[in-house]
Structure 1
Amino acid sequence: MPQVSNLTNDETFFEIGRLIELLLKNNPSVLELLATPRSHVLFRHPLMDMVDPQLFLSKLCKDTFAGYARTQMHKARGLNKKMNVREAPVRKSVMDFCWVYSDNAIYPLNEWLQYQGIMQEACGLSTMNHFKDCYKLFIQRNMPLNARLNGIVRSAGSNDVNTSEILKGIVPSGVLYFNKDGYSMHCREYREYNEWLEKRNEDRYKTNMSHGGQYDTKNMMHTIRLLSMAEEIARFKQINVFRSDREYLLGIKAGNYSFDELVKIADEKMVLIEEAYDKSSLPEAPDPELAENLLVRIREEFYQL
């Protein structure tokens, strides 16, 4: 197997081939791992001395380090949005996203039903060709005696509108539009908020709220760190795991900057990174032949082939 993890996925073990494969992709975690100073490594197999991370540095780092930083920023933005919710979102129904055109006016569905003095079960819908998410709307009292309508939705928990069989020639009482995309977005945001609420680290959440910035400071600290490392790799061809800007990064983690300030800093760093990689003499990608030869040598010595 190329890699195995423990039950909690807190520890992952790579076969050397998988490690080399990740180096060829300029994986940030693997490059940082191999660049860790020996004074902070508990055990290092002698064969690992053959794996010099500097040999694998390339312009791919712009996308891997800066791309990873964008992921951290995206998480921070998402958490920022969730943390600033004043009230937990209320789960809305399909009917909350429906509108009715009737008598030359447009009404929210629930308001229209109230105005008509009927329940949704006394209505029926039929599809309209070439009009996405639009339906002809019928009322039971305007139908022939033997006609039965199925309601607008099957139940309160339905995720779509319901249609009925309508005889030709019957004039609808209006047209219903179901904002299906809006409903889907609401469901996703509601689900994501509750998943975040269930899984969030309470201590980390309280820390983030206590500094007043109301964003995830750890995510933003890693964003700035990764962007700085990406620029350093382009300019100096080095992976600086031990940070000279440690106090600055800890200040970010402590919440000494507003979220908007950090977004502006990150945007400015992205401009510098683009310039640095345009001028850098780094190769476009690591040398696959060098990697293959290295892998063969390590396996030969380890397995004594």
Structure 2
Amino acid sequence: MFDLDALAHHRRAHVLLEAVAGSRAYGTANADSDEDVRGVFAVPAHAYLALAAPPNQVADERNNVVYYSLRRTIELLAAANPNILELVYLPDDCVRVCTPQMHALIAARASFVTRECAASHVGYAFSQIKKARGQNKWINQPQPRQAPAKEAFCHVIPARADGAPMRPRALADLGWNLAEFHAARLEHAREMFRLYHYGDAARGVFRNETLALESIPEADETARYAGLLIFREQAWRQACDDHRNYWTWRAERNEARWRQQECGEIDYDAKNLMHTVRLLLSGRSILERGEPIVRFAGDALETLLDIRAGRYAYKDVMELAQGIAADCETLKATADLPERCDVARADRLLLDLTNAWETRCA
């Protein structure tokens, strides 16, 4: 039953929590926001004794809908995962399904709030900062529709009879068609090959997406030798990966998110930086009040919305983020929180909740 369709079919029995998360939970949603659904499902304890263990989570292709197993949920809570901690602090108006077992987990949520949680919020936030600057985003590195051609990564050192210096030239500059050539291995050299011209009789250098190497007859070694081919294969493969990743991103991205960058209005990923500050504010709340912030309001919400709208310069957002991080460092000294989660207590909770769910379903 462990895929999304099967879980939906058995929803009444297995789903412990179903809720709207993401921007709609944070209070930052706008007309272009996706709806993110998060949930928790239970499986019988004996399922973990099978050779094919049940999955940790089931999700749709874009991860807009994700359900975590109860075991994985408690495991991630114990590991101070910010995304999972917010599931047990969601506002009531976000919750669609919440069983007695999930209510029991929510009642125990304070036991998962630790100094480690605050540290993980800050750590997650600054990992987002590294991704936020526009120059490193695909938005400023557009890819053509056509995949990279191997020939674009080829240079040739033509054979010269006059003894002039032999310098690599781009294949395109020479105007040579590699379909008219054969290639042979050049001993003791990587990505470099001997090149022989056979004209219409050639089978080509590239065949079935690979560079084909030939054994050249001795009589052709001099008569048909044209020069040395340099094929930067690893660079071509990396370019193909970049091209594929770019167009996957283009197909799946939320177009509204990228309009400001495409128009040159801002030079950073505004949504990433908004979430950076959101995580930092929530981390500070853990140290100040003993719980994270999920639903934002007032000045904090206005700040987040202004960041997403591009009303801050990049350096100003960085100063704000550094200031909140400094607050967190100061608060660590006085926060009345355990260092980390009591794993033995989390284990007992998992067992108790699983037993209670199995009793209910019996």
Shorter-normalised TM range: 0.7 to 0.9
Identify which range, 177-186 or 31-40, moves more after superposition: 31-40
d(CA) in 2 for partners of 1:258 and 1:87? 27
Letter matched to residue 106 of structure 1:
P
| Alpha-carbon separation, structure 2, partners of 1:188 and 1:221 | 29
2:71 matches 1:17: yes
Q: What is the aligned counterpart of 2:172 among 88, 110, 115?
A: 110
Aligned to 2:300: 245
1:59, distance to aligned residue in structure 2 (A): 5.0
Q: Which moved more, 1:73-82 or 1:89-98?
A: 73-82
Taking structure 2 as the reference length, the TM-score comes to 0.64
Q: Which residue of 1 aligns with 2:112?
A: 56
Counterpart code for 2:232: N
Question: What is the CA RMSD across the aligned residues, in angstroms?
Answer: 4.0
Partner of 1:97: 153
Aligned ranges 1:145-164 → 2 under 5 Å: 149-154=202-207, 159-164=209-214
Does 2:212 align with 1:130?
A: no
Distance 1:94 1:259, change over 3 A: farther
The aligned counterpart of 1:291 is: 346
Residues 7 and 89 of structure 1, relative CA distance in 2, 3 Å threshold: closer
CA contact (8 A) 1:126 1:166 kept: yes
Tell me, yes or no, if structure 1 residue 175 matches structure 2 residue 228: yes
Q: C-alpha deviations, 1:212-243, integer Å up to 9, x for none? A: 22654223211221233234435654312233
Matched, 1:255 2:313: no
Q: 1:251: Cα distance to partner? A: 0.6
Unaligned runs of 5+ in 1: 142-147
Structure 2 letter corresponding to 1:162: A
**Higher relative contact order structure (alpha carbons within 8 Å, sequence separation ≥ 6):** 1
Aligned counterparts of 1:4 and 1:40: Cα–Cα separation in 2: 20
Would the aligned equivalents of 1:227 and 1:269 in 2 still touch at CA under 8 Å? no
8 Å contact from structure 2 (residues 113, 341) kept in 1: yes
Contact 1:58 1:282 in 2 (8 A): yes
Does the Cα contact within 8 Å between 1:80 and 1:215 map onto a contact in 2? no
Which ranges in structure 2 are unaligned for 5 or more consecutive residues?
A: 1-42, 44-53, 161-165
Work out whether residues 185 and 192 of structure 2, in 8 Å CA contact, stay in contact via their aligned partners in 1: yes
Q: Aligned equivalents of 2:324 and 2:121: distance in 1?
A: 11
SS in 2 for 1:19: helix
Write the mapping of 1:261-272 to structure 2, written as runs, cut at 5 A: 261-262=316-317, 266=321, 268=322, 272=326
Displacement of 1:291 in angstroms is 0.8
Give 1:42-53 correspondences, 5 Å limit.
44-47=98-101, 48-49=103-104, 51-53=107-109
CA distance in 1, matches of 2:126, 2:341: 23
Change (3 A) 1:15 1:199: closer
Q: Relative to structure 1, is the Cα distance of residues 39 and 274 closer, same or farther in structure 2, using a 3 angstrom cutoff?
A: closer
Count of residues in correspondence between the two structures: 291
1:36 aligns with 2:86: no
Contact kept in structure 2, 1:79 and 1:216, CA below 8 Å: no
1:116-152 CA deviation, whole Å, 9 max, x = no partner? Answer: xx532232211233322111222338xxxxxx64323
Residues 128 and 273 (structure 1), Cα distance of their counterparts in 2 relative to 1, 3 Å cut = farther
State the percentage of identical aligned residues.
26
2:274 maps to a residue whose letter is M
Q: Aligned AA for 2:303?
A: Y
Aligned equivalents of 1:43 and 1:216: distance in 2? 34
Q: Say whether the 8 Å CA contact 1:100–1:175 is kept in structure 2.
A: yes
Q: Is the 8 A contact 1:150 1:164 kept in 2?
A: no
Cα 1:228–1:85 change in 2 (3 A) is same
Q: Could you say what secondary structure the match of 1:186 adopts?
A: helix
- In 2, Cα distance between equivalents of 1:197 and 1:52: 42
1:303–1:119 distance in 2 versus 1, CA, 3 Å = closer
Q: How high is the TM-score relative to the length of structure 1?
A: 0.74
The one-letter amino acid paired with 1:151 is G
1:202 lines up with 2:255 in the alignment: yes
Partner AA of 2:185 in structure 1? T
- Is 1:69 the equivalent of 2:125? yes
Distance 1:217 1:262 in 2: 10
Quote the offset at 1:168 in angstroms.
5.1
Q: How far, CA to CA, are the matches of 1:198 and 1:79 in structure 2?
A: 21
**Greater strand proportion:** 2
